[in-house]
Structure formats: C-alpha cells, structure tokens
Amino acid sequence: MGKTIKDLILITFFVIAITFFVWLPHLLGISNFWGLNFNNGFNTIYRNFDGLEYIIIAKTFYIPQAFALLPQSQSPIYFASHFPGYAIFIALIAPIFGFLKSMLVVSLLFTIASAIAFFFLVKDFKYSSQPLFLSFIFLILPARWLIVHSIGASEPIFIFFTIGALYFFMKFEQSKRFSDISIAALSGLFAQITRPPGILLFIALFLCVHYKFYLQSKIIGFKKAYLDHIKYFPLIFIPLGLLGIFYLYYQAYGDFFAYFHTGDNIHLSILPFQVFNKSQFWVGDIWLEDIVYIFLLGFLGGTILLKKRLYPMAFFVLTYLVASTMVIHRDISRYILPITPFILIAFEKVLTSKEFKIILPIILLIIYLYSQNFILQNVAPIPNISMFN
C-alpha cells in the first residue's frame, strides 16, 4: 500500500473519529460533562441550525404550496436565502437513510472529501512538507469549522468544491489542459448552487486572470496574452449557475430576485464593519474583540499568499474578506470559513512547528469545550423532529 493511500485512509479515520468524539456526549446523554448538560441526547445534533431548513428544501424544492405541509412557520420565500446544493444531496440519499440521517451523512462525506481535497492541494503544490498533519489541523481550525462539519450544514460541500475549483484552476495554469479549467469551472458551478458566496469565487478568479493578463501583456504583447487568457472562458459557468438559481426562484415564487426579498436573512450593509454596531439586529453585542482578530489573521494571511505569489488563493481570500466586511452578523467566523483552508496554508510554517505541536493538546481541549457549548445552545425550537424524516 502506497504512502498516499495510507494518508487518505488516515484522513478518513481522522474525520470519523473527530466527528464521533463531538457526537459522543450527545449519544450517551451525559448529564454533566465539564459542567455541560447533554440530557437532550442526539436530538441536539439534529436540531442545530441550519440543517433542518435544508431538509425542508429537500422535501419541497421551493414549491410554495408544499411548505404548508411541513412543521415550520417561515414564509416560503424565506427559504430562497438557502441555495439548493446541499438539499439536493440530502434528497438523493434520503431513500436510504431518511432525511435526518442523510443530513448528517452528507456533511460527513463532504468533510472527508474536503480534507482529502485539501491534502492534495497542499501535497501536489508542495505548500508544506507535512501535508497529512496540516490536513488534521484543517479539521479542527478554526473551531467554528469543527462545529459546522459535525452538524447539518452546507459549508462542507461548499468548501470541497471551492478547494476543487482553486486546485484545478492552478493545475490549468501549469498544464494548460482544457480538462483542468473545465473541472475548475464545474467545481465553481457546484459551489455556486450550494451557497450564495459562490459568486465571490468567480469574482476572485476573474480578477486573478485579468491581473495576470495585465502582467503578461506587458511582456508578450496584448494579442498573445489575450489568446492565452481566452482559454479561461469555461469559468463563465459559475455566474450562469447563479442565474440558474434565480430562474428556479422565478419558476417557484414568480420572483427572479426572491433571494434579495427574504427579509433580515440577507445580512449585508453598504457601509463596511457594521458588525461592530451593537444596534444591528444580528449583532446585539459589545464583546466583539474576536472579530478584530479574525479580520487581522484573514487579511494578514491573504497578504502572505500575495507575497508568495500564490495569486488564485490570495485573490480569493482577499475578495472574500472585503465582501465579509459588509456582513452584519455576530457569527462572522462562520461566514469566512471558506477562506480558512488557504489561511492555514499561509501560516503553514507556524502550524507545523514544534512549538505549535507542544500546545496542540491544550488547544484541542479548548476547541472541544467551545464546540460543545455552542452546539448545545444553537438549536432550533422544534420539539418533535421526527416529522422531518
């Protein structure tokens, strides 16, 4: 058995083991673990936001009349803020596992796929001499990611396709094979139909292509540079995917722009950094210092990638962060999760250092307690979840 196969088996084991340890106190219904109460059992995992909302989409596929048949009180148009990618995968395997278990199985499978994609990104482009260890760190940092990939959430799918898009985009820059840019575009398309910020991936790659076109045209001339860069045209399928979602909404709701009419579920502002305004509905807090450090590490990481001339990742990180400055939500750490794999690559030297490995056991305990505390409180007020199956 080759070393790469062994590493992939270990990564799969890491994902399953980490998820199991997150689920364990809920499965056992422990009444007191480190002061935390798990008496509600595994239903807490099922009820964590926003998994059940994707089950509703999987059951209704945005048909307004179908929403009334399910145990929920939201207006049908509310669900237009949730893109269908995750719900499609839930619906595909629901005949085997049921909807509730499928919600978690999809998250688990795409977490494994994300970790493997990250491993190959680091290994194939030689971003670290320790791709396996960095892939383990990818599963626990940031701590918000550990929570998200242990419950029902669309981020594992989105992050997998985002990594895939950037991986094959960079492969294309080396090989100039049409198949590579086509896979990059297809990955970007799936990312787009999974979460609205998929359009930021397109914008980032568009800016990266044009920046390189500018540099190249000064060396080989405009015409040759243009002919070289026209090969990136399959990326247009990413925004076409967004238009496809909006057309789906037009068919379901009679409103092409239904996504923008979902009420306070669109957490955007024209002014940047309104997340530091306590009066905003989804903020309501003055203890926001952690967000300062999130932006600090994010912009620093993006700048490091730019300095290393890792332009596709740098443009994606910085584009995503600039857009995130307009987000008005206390949970900014969740919004920026798609850029964190590339931030880890930026800080690879620190994360694989001897000093970091020494403090890692302490960090693991901190992350675990933080995650369990969050999961216990982040539950939908739905007492009988069996109706969702």
Instruction: Among 160-164, 211-215, 226-230, 246-250, name the one with the lowest average pLDDT.
Output: 226-230
Widest distance between CA atoms in the chain: 70
Query: In this structure, how many other beta carbons lie within 10 angstroms of the beta carbon of residue 264?
Result: 11
- Residue 255 to residues 80, 152, 235: CA-CA distances in angstroms? 10, 28, 26
pLDDT band at 76 (very low <50, low <70, confident <90, very high): confident
Report whether pLDDT(222) > 70.
Answer: no
The length of the chain is: 389
What is the per-residue pLDDT for 291?
Answer: 92
Buried b (16+ CB within 10 A) or exposed e, 100-119: bebbbbbbbbbbbbbbbbbb
What is the per-residue pLDDT for 225?
Answer: 65
Contact 156, 110 (CB under 8 A): yes
Residue type, 120: F
What is the per-residue pLDDT for 231?
Answer: 86
> CA end-to-end span of the chain, whole Å?
41
pLDDT band at 1 (very low <50, low <70, confident <90, very high): low
- What is the C-alpha to C-alpha distance for residues 34 and 174, in angstroms, rounded to an integer? 51
Q: What is the dihedral of CA 259, 261, 264, 266, to 10 degrees?
A: 30
Q: What is the pLDDT of residues 21-33, one digit of tens each?
A: 999 999 999 988 8
Residue type, 275: V
Domain ranges of the chain: 1-153+353-380
In percent, the amount of the chain with pLDDT more than 70 equals 97
Across the chain, mean pLDDT equals 92
In the predicted model, what is the mean pLDDT of residues 125-148?
96
pLDDT band at 87 (very low <50, low <70, confident <90, very high): very high
Supply the pTM of this predicted model: 0.95
- What is the C-alpha to C-alpha distance for residues 119 and 4, in angstroms, rounded to an integer? 10
Angle value at C-alpha 366, between 363 and 368, nearest 5 degrees: 110
In the predicted model, what is the mean pLDDT of residues 338-365?
96
SS3 150: coil
